[in-house]
Each structure stands twice: as C-alpha cells, then as structure tokens.
C-alpha cells in the first residue's frame, strides 16, 4: 500500500493551507490579541513572543524587556498588576507551578495615548526558597470585553436615559438613609416625582420627545437638590429623591423647589417647546414609615392623592385610620374569597324572572353566594365590588360559570342568566372555557342569557358590540343589566344588538311614589319595544307597581314582590345534581 506524504495530509486536513501561506504562530497570536511571555523574577528579565510590540502597541520592544520596564506602562489607577497576582497567590509550588490570573490597564501608544485592557494568565514556579522565581503565561487584549462589562455594570446601577441612579440603586441609598435615621434618631425623607401627562406627550409628539422631557426634568430636579440628597429614576415617568437629615418641613420646602424648577420654563425639544409639570408625593421616615417597602408604598399613595387633588402639586403622607381599616378589611376579604374558592364554598342562588301577564317563570338570574363555615351566606353585593378592586372577580366568574353549566346540564328545563364582570368580558380564558362547555353540550347555549351592566357596556361600545357578537355566535342571548344607570344613547343601544334590557331597580322600586321615575321607566319600556327588545323591570316591590308595568307593556318582572333569590332551587330536585351547592 502506498503511503500518502505527510505534507499532503496536512494540506488536506487544512483547507486553503496551500494558498494561505506558511503556518505563522506569531501572526495567529497577534490577530487574536494574544502574547506569550516568560519572566525570570529573580533577574527581572522578561522575554516576549515576537508579536508583543504589535499587540501591546509598544514602539520599542526593549522598553518591556524587564518587569520594571513593563510596569512603567501600567495605568496608576490599576487595582492589581502581574506582580501582585504572582506574589499574592496562595499556596506553594508543588512542582507543576501555581496558576494566577489578573486584569489591568496599559497606557500604550505614543505618550500613553492608547488604553489597553489586558487579561494576564499564567503560572509561577518557585525557587529553592519556595518563593516565586519564574513565571510564564499569556497576555490577551480584552478592551472590548472590559468596556462591555463596564457598560453592563453601569446600567445595573444607572439609568441610560437620564444618567441618574436606577430603581435598585436609589432603593439601596434609601435603605441606608433609613438605617442611619433610625440609628441616630434622626429623620429622612423620600419624594416620588411623576412627570405629568407623559402619555399625552407620547401621543402628540412621539416617544423621542417624551424621552427628552424626562431627561430635562431629571436635570432640573438635580439643579435644585442639596449636596447630600440623591436622585434616581424609579419608573418610566417617575423619579425618586432621598433627602437625608430631612424633617417634614424640609420635605415640603424641597418639593416646592422641584415643582418650581420644572414648571418655570418650557422644555426645548427637537420638535419645539413642550410645557412640563410634575406632581410629587412624599413621606417622612421613620416617623411615618419604618421600612423601605412602607416608604415606597406611602410615597405612591401620597402621589396618587396629589394627582387627585391637582396636577402639579405636592402631598405629604399622613396616617389615615379609616384607610388602614379599609386595607385590613380588604386583606381579610381577600383571604375569605380565596379560601371560599379553594374550599368550593361558592354556591349559586337563583332569582326568578316572570312573565308580566301570567307571572310564570321565564328564566332565572344566577347569583353568587359565599357559604361561611357557620353556614351563613354572604351575598354577591358584599363580595363582587371588593373582588373587582382586588383583581379576584375573574376567578369568581370562572367558578360561577362552571357551577351554572353543571346545573343547567342536570336540569334540562332550566333557562338562566349569567352575570359577567367587565374583566371577564375581555378575558380570553373565560371565553375559551365558555365556548368549550357550550360546544360540547348542544342546545344548552339557547337556554343561557349573558348579562353585562350598562355602565360597562358604554365604556367602549365597539368592544361591547364585539362581546355581543361573540356570545351570539355561541348561541346565547344578551341582556343589558341595570339599564338606565348609564344613559346609553338610542344609537348605541341599536348598535349593540342585545336581546333584553333590564331596567335598573333604582328607578322601579319607587314607581308608585315618584312621578319622575314613572316617566323614565315608561320611556325605557317604549324604547325597548321600538327596538324589538324584551324588557325586564328589576326590584318590583308591590302589586301596584307590577300593574303599572303591565299596562306599559313591560315583558318581565323581577324582585322581592315576585320572589327572592334562593339557594333552594324552585324547580323539581333531582338525584345526582353535579352543582356542588347545598340544597
């Protein structure tokens, strides 16, 4: 067998080797910014690879032929050097050498005009006395990496737009200020400053101009700060100011300075002048807040209060017993709602809606109740408003929908209406769940009426029209609840395409005593009839009111005079009902 020449093998294993020229280790090392060296520590002789002058940008290689000569190129601000890395490395040399690594800056080029960051990696070897006698390694230029790491380190503490500290950094400063205030029985303050109407500036001029406004506001605030105070950007349009050794009076004086600094002149941007103002909330600590979390929360509350009062104003936090009581009640209610969901103590109550002529049940409105541990029931009116404020209403809506679907499956004669909160009306998960239930149970959608309040419907008529279309595509009917409370226009009502309007009980309950209510309810009934809609009068309290409604052509009646909502279902009980409710 004929052997292939070694040179041919090398050429074949290295494509393009023949055309690229001879193998050039120094050139390769230079191209990647890597230089080998050998340092005789005992004589200080420093031998470099042939590419040292090119990589390290040294005009005369003789100047770095010794350790001392090389040291003259080191930036005086370096925290470490090769000598430090070698002499301070722990551990004796067992024969294989001791590894070391450090990073430092060289002042290279003419007159030291070029700064090079290098990573120095090697091993030192001990002499007879065990001390370092010789070292060898490589120096690698890492200027780009160092600059990138410095940029990341900067951005980890500072905001790129304003140059001020970011939220994490200013929060650390706030923590230190609070600890000092507690330790020395002093006081500090925190101001939360919000740029007003930033969304409008974004919409009118674009995000670039809004950024210019934010940066300008930051500069104006800084121009009026005391020497020891600290500024940071804590959110898109918000700055936080830590006031050290500040009394509540100092807080107010500082806020006045900052308000004036921002509003006293327009901000000049690339698109022209923009008027800017800020609103400020503040808190004194530890007087009114003993933790950083409390400081931030109270400052936000004060800012919200200032915005509600007047844009461009300042409000300092003051304890409020009623507010704290409401919060405790909200916390208790949250725990109770979550526990009821987890323990499946959400139950259904049904209130009949009857025909005006024959007083026969046309359908039942499904209402939610929470059954307490002692068996008592909490009505929806005591739960839903809190659940909406706390963001829990969608969880309740999901559970009520599941219970109602199960009851309707178990009772084929049941036609029922389901109240949907505005949050669930736009929740894709709620719609997906409803659609899955109805598509798997043919005919059930025709027995289901979905109710949405009028006040929610008129907030976005186009969105509500989409909601109605979506529900009708599933086969359901749509009712507008509390009709009359939101004053929906004739045009909007026609555009929505609903099937039923339920007249707000606030106008029905006093029909026999209020001429205004009689005129209003009669007008609503006539409006519904002209549009071909069925009308339901809620909160019917007496026979005289029912008779009036019948004479005006109201289709259905609902309220205490007809029957109250009950968890004891009025239709015939069945065995095996899968509702999870108590009979």
497: left (phi over 0), alpha (psi -120 to 50) or beta: left
Is pTM, for the whole model, over 0.85? Answer: no
Res 12: pLDDT: 39
One digit per residue, the tens of pLDDT, for the chain of length 583 reads 444 443 443 333 344 444 455 777 767 777 788 999 999 998 999 999 988 888 888 888 899 999 999 999 999 999 889 999 998 877 788 888 999 999 999 987 655 678 899 999 999 999 888 889 999 999 999 999 999 998 888 888 999 899 999 999 999 999 999 999 999 999 999 999 999 999 888 888 888 999 999 999 999 999 999 988 999 999 989 999 999 999 889 999 999 999 999 999 999 988 889 999 999 999 999 999 999 999 999 999 999 999 999 999 999 999 877 777 777 777 777 888 888 888 899 999 999 999 999 999 999 999 999 998 888 888 888 888 888 887 888 999 999 999 999 999 999 999 999 999 888 888 889 999 999 999 999 999 999 999 988 777 666 777 788 888 999 999 999 999 988 876 665 667 777 889 999 999 999 999 999 999 999 999 999 999 999 999 999 999 999 999 999 999 999 999 999 998 888 776 654 444 444 433 3
Give how far Cα 462 sits from Cα of 100, 337, 434, 468, 493, Å: 69, 33, 21, 10, 11
Omega before 24 within 30 of 0, i.e. cis:
no
Phi and psi dihedrals of 47, rounded to 5? Answer: -105, 130
DSSP string, 277-307: -EEEEEEEETTS-SSHHHHHHHHHHHHHHHH
Can you give the length of the chain in residues? 583
Block residue for tokens 């055309």: 19
- What confidence score (pLDDT) does residue 458 get? 64
Strands 346-355 and 556-557 come out as antiparallel
Phi, psi of 276 (to 5 degrees): -130, 145
Q: CA of 173: how far to CAs of 235, 244, 251, 300, 303, in Å? A: 16, 10, 17, 18, 21
Region for residue 153 given its phi and psi (left: phi exceeds 0; alpha: psi -120 to 50; beta: otherwise): alpha
DSSP code of 548? H
Residues 178 and 252: their CA atoms lie apart, in Å, by 19
Quick one: DSSP state of residue 94?
-
How does strand 34-40 pair with strand 45-48? antiparallel
pLDDT at 110: 56
CA distance 567 to 579: 11
Q: Give the per-residue pLDDT at 490.
A: 65
Q: Reduced to 3 states, what is the DSSP secondary structure of residue 112? A: helix
Q: Answer yes or no: are the C-beta atoms of 278 and 298 closer than 8 Å.
A: no
- What are residue 575's phi and psi, to 5 degrees? -85, 145
Please tell me the predicted confidence (pLDDT) of residue 90.
73
Domains and CATH numbers, the chain: 27-79+98-148 (3.30.450.20), 159-319 (3.30.70.270), 350-367+394-557 (3.20.20.450)
Interior/surface letters 507-546, b for 16+ CB within 10 angstroms, e for the rest: bbbebeeeeebbebbbebbebbeeeebbbbbbbbbeeebb
* Helix/strand/coil percent split, the chain, to 5: 45, 25, 35
Name the DSSP class of 566: B
pLDDT of residue 391: 83
What does the alpha-carbon distance between residue 538 and residue 521 come to, in Å, rounded to a whole number?
11
Distance between CA atoms of residues 346 and 339, nearest Å: 10
> Which candidate, 161, 185, 319, places its Cα nearest to that of 247?
185
Give the per-residue pLDDT at 281: 97
Cα-based distances in Å from 398 to 260, 414, 420: 51, 20, 10
- The structure tokens listed for 147 are 């600059």
From first CA to last CA, the distance across the chain in angstroms is 96
């Amino acid at each position: 067998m004929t052997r292939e020449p070694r040179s041919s093998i090398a050429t074949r294993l290295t494509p393009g080797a023949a055309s690229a020229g001879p193998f050039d280790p120094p050139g390769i090392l230079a191209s990647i910014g890597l230089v080998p060296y050998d340092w005789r520590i005992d004589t200080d002789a420093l031998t470099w690879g042939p590419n040292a002058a090119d990589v390290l940008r040294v005009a005369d290689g003789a100047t770095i032929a010794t350790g001392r000569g090389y040291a003259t190129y080191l930036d005086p601000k370096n925290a470490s050097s090769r000598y430090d890395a070698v002499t301070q490395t722990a551990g004796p040399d067992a024969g294989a050498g001791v590894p070391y690594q450090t990073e430092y800056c060289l002042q290279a080029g003419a007159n030291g005009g070029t700064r090079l960051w290098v990573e120095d990696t090697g091993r030192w070897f001990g002499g007879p006395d065990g001390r370092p006698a010789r070292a060898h390694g490589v120096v690698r230029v890492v200027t780009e990496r160092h600059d990138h790491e410095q940029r990341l380190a900067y951005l980890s503490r500072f905001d790129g737009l304003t140059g001020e500290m970011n939220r994490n950094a200013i929060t650390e400063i706030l923590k230190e200020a609070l600890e000092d205030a507690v330790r020395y029985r002093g006081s500090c303050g925190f101001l939360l400053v919000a740029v007003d109407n930033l969304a409008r500036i974004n919409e009118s001029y674009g995000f670039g101009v809004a950024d210019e406004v934010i940066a300008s506001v930051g500069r104006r605030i800084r121009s009026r700060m005391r020497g020891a105070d600290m500024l940071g950007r804590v959110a898109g349009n918000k700055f936080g100011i830590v006031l050290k050794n500040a009394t509540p009076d100092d807080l107010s004086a500082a806020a006045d300075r900052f308000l004036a600094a921002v509003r006293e002149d327009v901000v000049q941007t690339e698109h022209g002048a923009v008027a800017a103002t800020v609103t400020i909330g503040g808190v004194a600590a530890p007087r009114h807040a003993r933790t950083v979390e409390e400081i931030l929360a109270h400052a936000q509350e004060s800012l919200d209060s200032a915005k509600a009062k007047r844009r461009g104003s300042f409000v300092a936090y003051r304890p409020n017993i009623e507010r704290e009581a409401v919060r405790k009640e909200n916390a208790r209610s949250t725990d109770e709602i979550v526990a009821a969901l987890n323990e499946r103590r959400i139950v259904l109550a049904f209130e009949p809606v009857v025909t005006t002529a024959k007083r026969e049940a046309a359908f039942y409105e499904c209402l939610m109740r929470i059954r307490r541990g002692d068996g008592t029931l909490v009505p929806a009116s005591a739960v839903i408003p809190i659940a909406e404020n706390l963001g829990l209403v969608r969880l309740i809506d999901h559970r009520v929908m599941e219970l109602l679907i199960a009851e309707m499956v178990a009772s084929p004669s049941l036609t029922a209406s389901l109240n949907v909160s505005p949050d669930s009306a736009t929740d894709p998960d709620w719609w997906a769940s409803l659609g899955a239930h109805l598509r798997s149970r043919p005919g059930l959608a025709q027995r289901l009426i979905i109710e949405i309040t009028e006040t929610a419907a008129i907030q976005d008529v186009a969105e509500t029209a989409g909601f109605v279309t979506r529900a009708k595509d599933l086969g359901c009917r749509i009712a507008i609840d509390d009709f009359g409370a939101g004053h929906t226009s004739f045009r909007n009502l026609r555009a929505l395409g609903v099937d039923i309007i339920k007249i707000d009980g606030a106008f029905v309950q006093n029909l026999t005593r209020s001429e205004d209510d009689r005129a209003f309810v009669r007008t609503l009934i006539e409006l519904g009839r002209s549009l071909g809609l069925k009308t339901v009068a809620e909160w019917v309290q007496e026979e005289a009111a029912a008779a009036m409604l019948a004479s005006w052509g109201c289709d259905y009646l609902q309220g205490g005079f007809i029957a109250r909502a009950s968890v004891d279902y009025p239709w015939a009980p069945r065995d095996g009902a899968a509702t999870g409710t108590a009979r």
